Structure formats: structure tokens, C-alpha cells
Amino acid sequence: MTKKQRALEIKKRFLKHYQNPKTELKYRNIYELLVSVILSAQCTDKRVNLVTPALFAKYPSPSMLAKANVEEVKEIIKSVSYFNNKAQNLVKMANQIIENFEGKVPTTQEELKSLAGVGQKTANVVLIEYFEANYMAVDTHVFRTSHRLGLSKAKTAIQTEEDLTKLFKTDLSILHQAFVLFGRYTCKAQKPECENCFVKDFCTSKSNFKPA
């Protein structure tokens, strides 16, 4: 079986196994989604969901967050990893939205990447989740599982994203969410549940692959 044939079979199984996968972050609009995704870097969705209700109650819009005292934002999100940097980025990001985008969260990859705290992965996740855009975003779960399945040997997340995009081409938004859930609950970093895996026949290694 060629690599392309392997990829097509893996894709087929993922689409069958995960019918309508969605992020586990809780949000009500694109502003809340963007903030939640920024907070989720190097942090669990469960932890983010614990702090965002209070954050959104106090700062329900970019205009409100833009006027926020950074120290007060830090206090609300202090249980989240790297809360100091994230608090500063959130306030700066909100000000950029006010100044550069008339108070509305931008909806293209390049515009999103111009915001503080937003890299390509964060931008893609927002577009995937909110618009079901045909993008692949590579977090630690996607990186680990795609390497275990032999879909990429790239050293970085961006290069892995490129490999997966070329292999799968379509249904990328569904596949991204599916790979995240697969890595979170089945193909875990430690003690993967191989007996419950629907693609175990394609597994090439149980190593805990991490981006360089």
C-alpha cells in the first residue's frame, strides 16, 4: 500500500468514526472563540472553560477587553498556563481589533495572524471551528498521532500541517477536530489505548512525538 493509499484509508476511517467533531471549548461568538483558542495554547480546554465565564462576563466584547487593566485580566486567568503573556496579548489583541478592524474580529488567516497572540495554528483553529474552513491545524495531539500513523516525518507543526494538507486535501476541518479528539482520548501521549484504536493497523510507533 502506498503512502497515498494509506492516507486515504485513514481519512475514510476518521470520517466514519467522527461524524461531526467539534472543539470542546465553550463559546458563543467568534470573539469568545478567538479568546478561548488563545488561552488554550499549552493548556487544556477543560481548564480554559473554567476561567472564560468570568472573563467574558467582565469583558463581553473586544471594546471592553481593549479597555481592561492587564492585572485584572491576569487575576481572572491566573490558573491558565503562561497567564502573564496571555493577559498582555489579549488586551493588545482587542486594541488591534478596535484600531485595525473596526471592532470586528477579522475572518481571514492573514488578518488573524496580525493579532497579538495569534499564530497560524490559532488562526486556523478559529476558521476551522467557526466557518468549517478547509484548513488543517497541528497541535500536540495532531502532531503526535499523525507521526505515529506515518503520515508525516516533519520536525515542525507547520511542516506537518503542509504534509497533512497535501495528503488529505479535503475535509480538513473535520479531520483536524477528529485528530484532536483521537489524540486526547485514544492515542494519548502516555499509555495510548491501542485496544480501542480503529487505525491501529497503520500505527508505526508509540513514541511520544513532539514538534521541534
* Confidence category of residue 79, pLDDT binned at 50, 70, 90: very high
Q: pLDDT (tens digit, 9 = 90+) per residue, 37-53?
A: 999 999 999 999 999 99
Catalytic residue among 11, 74, 121, 163: 121
Q: pLDDT (tens digit, 9 = 90+) per residue, 107-156?
A: 999 999 999 999 999 999 999 999 999 999 999 999 999 999 999 999 99
Catalytic residue among 45, 139, 191, 206: 139
Cell numbers for 54, please give them. Answer: 468570568
Q: Which domains does the chain have, with CATH numbers?
A: 3-21+135-202 (1.10.1670.10), 30-131 (1.10.340.30)
> What percent of the chain stands above pLDDT 90?
98
Whether 121 is catalytic:
yes
Model pLDDT, residue 46: 96
- In whole numbers, what is the pLDDT of the chain averaged over residues? 97
CA atoms within 13 A on the CB side of 153: 2
Whether 139 is catalytic:
yes
| Closest C-alpha among 169, 171, 194, 170 to residue 182 | 194
Model pLDDT, residue 1: 87
CA distances to 32, 49, 80, 115, 131 from 94, in Å: 11, 20, 19, 8, 21
